[in-house]
Structure 1
Amino acid sequence: MISLLWGIVSLLWMVLALIPFLGWGNWFLIPFAAIGAIIGAIGMAVTSPGKRGRAKTGLLLNAVVIVVAIFRLSIGGGII
């Protein structure tokens, strides 16, 4: 549950960081989303197989945010 909420916050932050001149937010977003992905991985490891849906969704959402943020940094350098 925490990983899913963390992923939603990361996704909203990512949308803001896509705005020109707010790209510097990606430098803080990547570690933030990485922590959410770690929480999701821990959640998947400690829950029973039938109840891993939220942890898996949080892990995937944070992973997508990390990939998009890295791509955004590669094209704009975090300045633009």
Structure 2
Amino acid sequence: MRVLSIFFGALAALGLILGMLPLFGWLNWLVVLPPAILGLIFGALGRDRTATTLSAVVAGLAALRLMLGGGFV
């Protein structure tokens, strides 16, 4: 479970880098949030604090980016 959680967290973090660019905020809905949520679930099941924290930080930053951009931009 730990490996899956870290994999999904890292995948979401890579997508978050691209999703932070202007006009690419919509990627947060498709590329960042679903893997980050899966990483949170697998991290909680595996009881791994590092992987859970990574996924939570990525999901929080993506949600903040979506709020600041109005949900799409």
Q: TM-score range by the shorter chain?
A: 0.7 to 0.9
Q: Greater relative contact order: 1 or 2 (C-alpha under 8 angstroms, separation 6 or more)?
A: 1
- After the TM superposition, which residues 25-44 of structure 1 pair with which residues of structure 2 at under 5 Å, given as runs? 25-28=27-30, 29-44=32-47
Q: TM-score, normalised by structure 1?
A: 0.79
Between the aligned partners of 1:10 and 1:31, the Cα distance in structure 2 is 8
Partner AA of 2:70 in structure 1: G
Counterpart position of 1:21: 23
Deviation by residue 1:29-78 (Cα, 9 ceiling, x = unmatched): 2232111100000011xxxxxxxxxx221110000011101100011024
Unaligned 5+ runs, structure 1? 45-54
TM-score normalized by the length of structure 2? 0.86
Q: How much does 1:6 deviate? A: 1.2
| Match status 1:62 vs 2:65 | no
Of 8, 11, 16, the match for 1:9: 11
Percent of residue pairs identical: 39
**RMSD of aligned residue pairs (Cα, Å):** 1.1
Q: Is the 8 A contact 1:40 1:56 kept in 2?
A: yes
- Residue-pair matches, total: 70
